[in-house]
Amino acid sequence: MRLFIAIELPEQVRNALAGLRCDIHGARWVPKDQLHLTLAFLGEVDDDGVARLTGRLSRIHAPPFTLRFGESGCFPGRRRPRVLWVGLEHESRLLHLAAKVHAAVTDSGMALEDRPFSPHITLARIKVPRPEEVGIFLDRHLQKKLPSLAVREFILFQSQLTPEGAIHTPIRSFPLAA
């Protein structure tokens, strides 16, 4: 099964992020119920791997914390925008949690992408980019005040790809405790 580990966003935050949507040519907006903060993407994992992974993830100890939204942008850059995202202010507890999750994944015998963790929430993917539209969006719409995000758990999700888009199903949650 295709898996990822993420922080689920509360309804208030998802509503605020969905409220940023506007008409950008070629943009495919992430459905509101699919918005999340990915800690690690795993890809295909067999049942034995899931068992090893959940055992290791359940041993992670980290305190709850609060995140605030920060700068926003696009990947790979404003000249050829393909992904619109909203970022989060630097929070060392998020980085520590992500490092512990990454260690649990590799200790389970799975490989991760070889790039640094960059905390963000993907808002849209753009097929035919028009940089000027994206620039206007980033300059105007993402200046809005977004609610903070209380992080109390992280979740192992299954992602099923369908012609209509991905369906994300929680497999197991892992609460944070001091």
Q: What CATH superfamily is the domain 2-175? A: Cyclic phosphodiesterase (3.90.1140.10)
Three-state DSSP state, 163: coil
pLDDT score for 143: 65
Three-state DSSP state, 96: helix
| Dihedral of alpha carbons 105, 106, 108, 113, sign | positive
124 touches 28 (CB < 8 A): yes
Query: For residue 176, what pLDDT band results from cuts at 50, 70 and 90?
Result: very high
Alpha carbon separation from 96 to 3, 10, 51, 69, 90 (Å, rounded): 21, 21, 23, 18, 11
Residue 55: count other Cβ atoms within 10 Å of its Cβ: 12
Arithmetic mean of pLDDT, 32-50: 95
pLDDT score for 142: 64
Going from N- to C-terminal start, the domains of the chain cover 2-175
Between these two residues, 114 and 99, which has the higher pLDDT value?
99
- pTM of the complete model: 0.92
Q: Is the pLDDT of residue 43 over 70?
A: yes
Active-site residue list: 36, 120
Query: For residue 119, what pLDDT band results from cuts at 50, 70 and 90?
Result: very high
Residue type, 100: K
Quote the percentage of the chain above a pLDDT of 90: 67
Between these two residues, 164 and 133, which has the higher pLDDT value?
133
